[in-house]
Amino acid sequence: MNTKFTFSQFLIRFPNDDSCLEEIKQLRYPEGSLCSKCHKKTNFYKVKGRTAYACQFCGAHIYPLAKTIFDKTSTPLRLWFYAMYLMVQTRAGISAKQLQRELGVTYKTAWRMFKQIRALMADTSGTPLTGTVEVDETFIGGKGKNRAYEHRLNLENEDKEILMGMVERGGKVYLKHIPNTGKWTLLDQIKANVDPKAKIYTDQYGGYTHLSRLGYEHDYVLHRDMQFTKGIVHTQNIESFWSGLKRGITGVYRVVSKKYLQAYADEYAWRYNNRKFEGKMFNRLLEQVPEVRVLPATKLA
């Protein structure tokens, strides 16, 4: 049963910073790991007063936080874990301002913590989407409320950014911040992220007309003629995703800059892609810590 990971369970599991450090150590250096110095299978033991462990045979030190999002942080690990917990407990996200209030840290620290955590949410698997895939784009930001069909053809004066979305029916979503809605921009993203044997459903936008020439089975609906479904052909899943993403950005973050739009998109995509693992979402995010390497910084949050 996929039960929710409650706040009470979080407090019991992570009563202090050492329990958080131990969790990261187990992920990176499980029991029986080889010591890089003496080359023996060892159980590293905690070095008192430090974020380090030592080999039981030769005493060589390991540093579980090195080159992770926690490297050189001055913020208690338990607060980092709590920020991660909050991030996976809501569908819409949580603002840095709210995290500032929750943790009692500065706004700058809260913002940087979320920036680091979002790095864990980026999809770097390279696994192509398969089956039936719905493809669409949407506009984020700016003053206009509506995405007119003609706007796709003339964006020079628009103050909006473009997200392209591809979603497997019953599966995962992939999002990409793109510079324009030109034919080759769209087709290149599809070729890079969708299996050639997949069926692709879009609306009538001309940028997708060459999909069949690339070998894809392609069909579309005529949104401009108020045709939203044609049997099993529709783009309602990706459109529903766009609605949730926009509600979240507008309601929680208010404004997202061009520079960080991809990171925010990754956050919403990660939640969607892990929606079937509600009780395990925190663990699944934590498991990404050893997978995402960051360069050491002089000072992190």
pLDDT at 146 (0 to 100): 47
Residue 95 in any domain: the answer is no
Residue 202 in any domain: the answer is yes
Residue 37 in any domain: the answer is no
Residue 264 in any domain: the answer is no
pLDDT at 297 (0 to 100): 47
pLDDT at 63 (0 to 100): 97
Task: Spell out the residues 6+ positions from residue 220 whose beta carbon is closer than 8 angstroms to its own.
Answer: 201, 202, 203, 204, 208, 233
CATH code of the domain in which 234 resides: 3.30.420.10
Check pLDDT > 60 for residue 148.
Answer: no
pLDDT at 31 (0 to 100): 84
How many Cβ atoms are within 10 Å of 247's Cβ, its own excluded? 12
Residue 3: which pLDDT band, with cuts at 50, 70 and 90?
confident
Give CA separation, 225 vs 221, 229, 230, 269, in Å: 9, 11, 12, 30
- Least confidently predicted of 105-109, 151-155, 158-162, 210-214: 151-155
Residue 53 in any domain: the answer is no
Residue 97 in any domain: the answer is no
pLDDT at 83 (0 to 100): 98
Work out how many domains the chain is built from and give that number. 1
Domain membership of residue 174 as a residue range = 132-256
Q: Beta strands 199-203 and 217-221: pairing type? A: parallel
pLDDT at 98 (0 to 100): 96
- Least confidently predicted of 74-88, 98-112, 149-163: 149-163
Residue 279: which pLDDT band, with cuts at 50, 70 and 90?
confident
pTM of the complete model beyond 0.95 = no
On the CB side of 109, CA atoms within 13 Å amount to 18
Share of the chain above pLDDT 70, in %: 90
Q: Which two tokens stand for residue 17?
A: 């910073």
How many Cβ atoms are within 10 Å of 104's Cβ, its own excluded? 9
Residue 195 in any domain: the answer is yes
Q: Mind listing the pLDDT tens digit for each residue in 238-251?
A: 999 999 999 999 88
Residue 175 in any domain: the answer is yes
Nearest alpha-carbon partner for 117 in 85, 91, 92, 90: 85
